[in-house]
Structure 1
Amino acid sequence: MSIFDFRSYKAFLKAQCEVERGALTRLAEAANTQKSYLSACLNGKGQLNLDQAFGVAEYLNLSDIEQDYLYLLIEKEKAVTPALRRRLESKAKEMVREAFRLKNQQKDAVIVTERDSNIGFYYASWLATAIHTLTSVPQFQSIAGLEKRLNLNQKSIEAVISYLEKMDLIKKSGDKYRWNSSNIHLEDSSVWISSHHTNWRARAMDNIQKYDREATHYSSIQSFSEEDFEKLKKKIAYFINDFNKVADPSEPEDVYCFNIDLFRV
């Protein structure tokens, strides 16, 4: 459960109280207030002050951005004039969008920028990212194994391998080329974002034309509300987080491409 799923701090704290028995008492102690006052506050009477909210945030071990969002929700609840409330609501929505940006869902990834050496080569085609990832799988850590897997000639494989070695993304050990990096993630503002997505969606189209029965492809054009658009973006962000929790520690046996698209037409 994330505070960014809530538009009211009272709803968030009430949800916390439903998670485990005695939570209301512990939250009241953290806020340095009476249990009866906190209960009345959460049910519509009164507001927490920022000192009380700080105690609650510390108890819940909220991150800095989560704490800032909690304080903002409190200020929004206290706002009297409609104009101020709208302004604070708009700011809250922006904080939620920022919290669910994909780079914030990949906390263990290395964020690369245009200043990084050879980054243009890495994202210019699908081949470099494919070979880099394949070298995490034992049977694809040789030139011959990569040739067979990708159906490419030796010179093409060797040229990419050479660049990946220079970037320190793989290391040679005997006749093996082993994966040697953390997960890599582009900044949202990178000029290579478009190229990277285009490359792999083109590969997805190739796969569709092969009628690969093991693959899953889904496209849907639908109309829905602005509120549900934001809700779906959150669900996708959560799913990507869950996806990485399963995929990252998984034993490498083969390499797969995973795409999700949701955009305004």
Structure 2
Amino acid sequence: MVGHGGWSGGCVDIRNRVCSGGNLPSGALKASSAPCLKDRSPGFPFRLFSLYFFLMPSVPDAPWHIVRQSSIHNLGVFAARDIPKGTRILDYRGHKITKAESTRRGNAQLEESAATGEGAVYLFVLNKRHDIDGNVPWNDARLINHTCNPNCEAQIIRGTIWLIALRDIPEGTELGFNYGFDLETWEDHPCRCGSKNCIGYIVGKEYWPRLRRLLKKRQAAAASLAAPDPEDEASLASASRKRASKGVGKKEKTTSGK
């Protein structure tokens, strides 16, 4: 005779793995009226395993993130609750495209952005052959802003791009990762993350030493253009003295003429 859920001989006591003549602990399932016999059928372990998960309390699959206005740029993604370090917060979704198509779309999006001042590129490297175009409304991860002090990072796990928490993230904190841009067009991407270690531009951290050298040279060049040349200063001072002496003479002549 088959009891509840395909169990032979009546309902099974989870703790003792035997038939129960009464109710199961915590009243999870109502006992069968079948005779109380030990279950020796071949599928017993699998059915017990299945029932264990059936009896487990359901955990709501609430998202780790919410989308709202950001002080960095437009919309951003924030922690909906405390996020433990190492958590897979959300995945980067979109259309899987070839590298050639990725280049075409990227150039088109950049041209549109240059012409209108709006738009963005949401292409994400997946592997050597494919990229993910995340410019789709169901991809909240595309709204995560760049920061020079990231609290999450992108990792590719079994073909899926996940945003992983680098540390414990308190509820309400904005999520951010380093976009990893190279130095080719660094001047086109100023950073507004506001972190203490912000380098001023959206570039990968591995490029920071080179960028600092570039910025230092640029500042030195600007300072040299702004500061007068010592020889020029001497020439200007000499010319000023000559003009002053000529001015005094003319004034005296005018005075003596009166």
TM over 0.5: no
Provide the TM-score with structure 2 as the length reference: 0.24
Q: Which has the higher contact order (CA 8 A, sep 6+)?
A: 1
> By percentage of residues, which structure has more helix?
1
Larger radius of gyration: 2
Provide the TM-score with structure 1 as the length reference: 0.23
> By percentage of residues, which structure has more strand?
2
